[in-house]
A = this chain, B = another copy of it.
């Protein structure tokens, strides 16, 4: 396996330059930017939740998808899974210290979507407008 590259003078460009084979960065990037990870982390950063509580927060997610996302995040050390001793089976998910370090970057991205959503919607409308016109 390859260790990561020494030191890239340019910040992000490294991702697109060293592309000879599958970079771990790219894989990792895919993992954390998947459909639900951001939202799951957002929910658990607020407070730890149990499986079905979490499911209710993430409206639209299936049990299977949630389980998979949770496992993947747990495996990567971003979430912790803790079985609560009780009469009923109870499992609580929480964010690890490592996961906490992701909160900021994610907040930046999510903040962007909120801030610029109107601009983007407008751009999309304009684009569709133009497309429709030259269709005629």
Contacts and interface: CB of A to CB of B under 8 A. Distances in A.
Contact of A28 (B2, B74, B98, B117): B117
A30 to B, nearest CB: 6
Interface in A9-41: 10-17, 19-20, 24-26, 28-30, 32-35, 38-39
A123 B77 contact: yes
A83 B74 CA distance: 47
A111 B4 contact: yes
Given A5-B111, A35-B30, A111-B11, A116 B104 contact: no
A11 B107 contact: yes
A110 to B, nearest CB: 5
If over half of A's interface residues share one DSSP class (helix, strand or loop), that class is named, otherwise mixed; here it is helix
A61 B121 CA distance: 27
A67 to B, nearest CB: 15
Q: Give chain A's interface residue range (CB within 8 Å of chain B).
A: 35 or more
A84 B81 CA distance: 55
Given A10-B46, A105-B105, A108-B108, A127 B74 contact: yes
Interface of A: 2, 4-5, 10-17, 19-20, 24-26, 28-30, 32-35, 38-39, 42-43, 45-46, 57-60, 74-78, 98, 101-124, 126-128
